[in-house]
A and B are shown apart, each in its own frame.
Chain A
Amino acid sequence: MKRAAWQRVLLSAWVRPVLLVALLLIAWDLAIRLFRIPPYLIPSPWSVVQQLVNEWPRLLKESIPTTYATLGGFALSIAFGIPMALMIAYSRTIESFVYPLLVFSQSVPKIAIAPLFVVWFGFGIIPKVIAAFMLGFFPIVVSTVMGFKSVDPDMLDLARSMKASRLATFLRISLPHALPSIFAGLKVSITLAVVGAVVGEFVGSNSGIGYLLQIANGNFDLPLMFAALTVLSAIGVVLFVAVDVIERLMIPWHASQRHDAVVPA
């Protein structure tokens, strides 16, 4: 059965979220009109769009340092997270020492200690990178550990029986098996890293979206605040999609990437 062209467009993967956003915007606008919510509590979507257009050059300029800090924190999360996860996955001793502490550290609210980062590392980009790292690090470790631990033991036995070297076993069996989990962690991590970078900027910064948010807040410029939040979310989406693309390139064989798996027959 062939679907009409407009139906196919309507149901394509790119249009659906746009439709939902449009629907939410309408609901937002309606709610404001219906409940007469004053603009000093919640701005109208239209005024946010206006600020988005008017302040675009500034928003763009301020989003650059935030993106840098996010990417820096993300890179740091990978650089520390994956080796640490490997150690945890392959050594029970290290796991018993490190893992509880890691979980403990994750429960510390970052916003509470972020002011100290400024004291320790000054007003430059470093405290923001570290804040992004603190938030982005944990999901990478957890899902990488899970990925390596859930390798089928029969496969490992098979490799051993065929006298494969440890390196070969790792590269041919463990790593490919763990990659989907690792990427799941990376995707969570990158969105959290954006939040971390802004937390860092909120506390002490001369630039960035967090800085702009503070100014907008001080002036009761809610439309600008929401516009800044929109840009921030857009940064998160773009980075997420980038990780997603890399994932597709690296593990095209995995079930989650095969299109026939998404649409069952």
Chain B
Amino acid sequence: MIKRLTCIAAALVALVVLPAFAQGKEKVVLLLNWYVYSEHAPFFLGKERGYFDQEGIDLDVQEGRGSGVTVQAVAAGTATFGYADVATMIKAASKGAPVTAVGVALQTSPMSAMGFADRNIRKPEDIKGKTVAVTPGDSMSQIWPLFLKKTGLKESDFKTVSGDAQTKLNAVMNNQADLLLGYVMDQAIKLQDATHKDIYPIRFADYGVNMVSSGIIVQKDYLKAHPDVVKRFMRATTRSLEEAAKNPDAAVDAMLKANPKSGVKETALVGMKNTASLYKGPDNPNDRPLRVGAKNMDETLALLVEYGGLEKASAGKATDYYTNDFLP
């Protein structure tokens, strides 16, 4: 009798508490920098494995239309978190957008000049006399002059054509350009998927261009009001990135299950592995993911001032733009 009563009581408690628990979950929107591709797979793995659930977070991942827009949306409070290019965020923040980075995912630059492998463009000197497709105003086109300087190339050594993101890909696919400026885990995979030809990227990072890339950004007011949610979110994100690096296969599967149109298994797997190889910066090989080194951020800011159109007067110091305090 007592046993049965306890059972009923337990059931009742469960009935009352469980929905309450579900309601108590924080609804969080993560706005990505672009349409879903391999780089974003860790978030889907984390969702599938329940890392965010365990932190009491109900995560909604939404596709973006470029880092700039994502930063503006987070600054305006339209999205809780943003996954965006940290350099782009710094530029917006220096113009008054109240945002900060609470974790940097890609700490080695994924920027590269890439073309079909059979063209044999494998080192900077090979670019001479070729045609390069760029998108005016984007982060890569702004760092490109630094790459040229570090490798002793001149703007006049090659031809430039400019167009939007799609045009860059089209130009290389249709031989209107030999190379494009893109990310190793993004455009390289897209080119490969479309043409089934191998791509060879000349990485900026291999020629001394060190700059952080994608990270998690949040509005400063939100950070002040909900430090606990940010901490929990970052804990789940850290676990997701670690697990995705260890188990890229599962990460890609989780992404493709949630977004069947976001890629093709084999190449997305390559993209995920390439992404994971960028999780560590040059100055912090032993840190957990998302924890960025001070030197790396200083260097990024210095580059932005020198090449990225960031005004020196309003630039401030690197610590104005990021914090590691909310990471596990």
A positions within 8 Å CB-CB of B: 38-41, 115-116, 118-119, 122-123, 202-206, 211, 214-221
Q: A206 near B161 (CB under 8 angstroms)?
A: yes
Return the contact of A123 from the options B76, B98, B161 (Cβ within 8 A): B161
Q: Are B72 and A203 in contact (CB under 8 A)?
A: no
Q: For B162, list chain A residues within 8 Å (CB).
A: 123, 204-206, 211, 214
Q: How far is the CA of A217 from the CA of B142 in the complex (A)?
A: 13
The CA-CA distance from A23 to B273 in the complex, in Å, is 57
Indicate if the CB atoms of A215 and B164 lie closer than 8 Å: no
Closest 6 CB pairs of A and B: A218-B137, A204-B163, A215-B137, A204-B167, A40-B97, A115-B166
Would you give 16 A-B contacts (Cβ < 8 Å), ordered by A? Answer: A41-B75, A115-B163, A115-B170, A118-B167, A118-B176, A123-B161, A203-B164, A214-B137, A215-B136, A217-B68, A218-B68, A218-B138, A218-B139, A219-B309, A220-B92, A220-B97
Q: Which of A202, A203, A215 has the most CB of B within 10 A?
A: A215
CB contacts (< 8 Å) of B95 on chain A: these are: 39-40, 220
Most buried by A among B95, B135, B141: B95
List chain B residues, Cβ under 8 A from A202: 164
Is B96 close to A, CB under 8 A?
Answer: yes
| Distance, CA A216 to CA B95, complexed state (A) | 13
Judging by beta carbons under 8 Å apart, are A206 and B160 in contact?
yes
CA distance A135 to B166 in the complex (A): 21
Give the number of chain B interface residues (Cβ < 8 Å). Answer: 29
Query: Which residues, 90 to 120 on B, are CB-close (under 8 Å) to A?
Result: 91-92, 95-98
Which of the residues A41, A119, A211, A216 comes within 8 Å of B176, measured between beta carbons?
Answer: A119
Given contacts A206-B162, A211-B136, A215-B136, whether A40 and B96 have CB atoms under 8 Å apart is yes
With A38-B98, A119-B171, A204-B164 known, 18 other A-B pairs at CB within 8 A are A40-B72, A40-B95, A115-B166, A118-B167, A118-B171, A119-B174, A119-B176, A123-B163, A204-B171, A206-B161, A215-B137, A218-B137, A218-B138, A219-B91, A219-B137, A220-B68, A220-B91, A221-B309
Interfacial chain B residues near A215, Cβ < 8 Å:
136-137
Known contacts A203-B167, A214-B136, A218-B142: does B160 contact A39 (CB below 8 Å)? no
In whole angstroms, how far apart are the Cα atoms of A164 and B76 in the complex? 70
Closest chain A CB from B303 CB (angstroms):
15
Q: Across the interface, which residues of A come within 8 angstroms of B174, CB to CB?
A: 119
Contact B97 A38 (CB under 8 A): yes
Given the complex of chains A and B, what is the CA–CA distance between A119 and B173 in angstroms? 9
Pairwise interchain contact A205-B163, C-beta atoms closer than 8 A: yes
Q: Please give me the residue from chain B that is nearest to A206 by CB atom.
A: B162
- A residues less than 8 Å from B141 (CB atoms): 218
A218 touches B136 (CB 8 A): yes
CA distance A218 to B166 in the complex (A): 16
Q: Is the CB of A123 within 8 A of B176?
A: yes
A41 to B170, CA, bound (A): 32
A211 to B75, CA, bound (A): 26
**Known contacts A119-B174, A203-B167, A220-B92; A41/B72 CB under 8 A:** yes
B91 proximity list for chain A (CB < 8 A) = 219-220
Residues of chain B lying within 8 A (CB to CB) of residue A118: 163, 167, 170-171, 176
A14 to chain B, nearest CB (A): 37
How many angstroms between the C-alpha atoms of A211 and B163 in the bound complex?
8
How far, in angstroms, from A164 to B260 measured CA to CA in the complex?
A: 69
Per-residue A-contact encoding for B52-73, CB less than 8 Å = 1, 0 else: 0000000000000000100010
CB A151 to nearest CB in B, in angstroms, measures 46
Q: Nearest Cβ in chain A — how far from B122, in angstroms?
A: 26
Q: How far is A166 from B277 in the complex, measured between Cα atoms in Å? A: 78
B161 to A204, Cβ gap below 8 A? yes
Residues from chain B with Cβ under 8 Å of A116 in the complex:
170
Most-contacted residue by chain B among A39, A119, A217, A219 (CB, 10 A): A219
User: Using Cβ atoms and an 8 Å threshold, which residues of chain A touch B170?
Assistant: 115-116, 118-119
B217 to chain A, nearest CB (A): 14
Nearest A residue to B135, CB-CB: A214
What mask results when residues 155 to 180 of chain B are scored 1 for a CB within 8 Å of chain A, else 0?
A: 00000111110110011001010000
**A218 vs chain B, min Cβ distance (A):** 2
* C-alpha gap A38/B176 in the complex (Å): 41
Q: Select from chain B the residue with minimum beta-carbon distance to A37.
A: B76
Give chain B nearest CB distance to A61 CB in angstroms: 15
B-chain residues with CB within 8 Å of residue A115 when the two chains form the complex = 163-164, 166-167, 170
How far is it, in angstroms, between the C-alpha of A38 and the C-alpha of B98 when the chains are bound? 10
A205–B160 Cα gap in the complex (Å)?
Answer: 10
B166: A residues at CB distance < 8 A: 115, 203
Complex: A22 Cα to B99 Cα, angstroms: 34
Chain B residues whose CB sits within 8 angstroms of the CB of A39 once the complex forms = 95-96
CB proximity of A126 to chain B, nearest CB, Å: 13
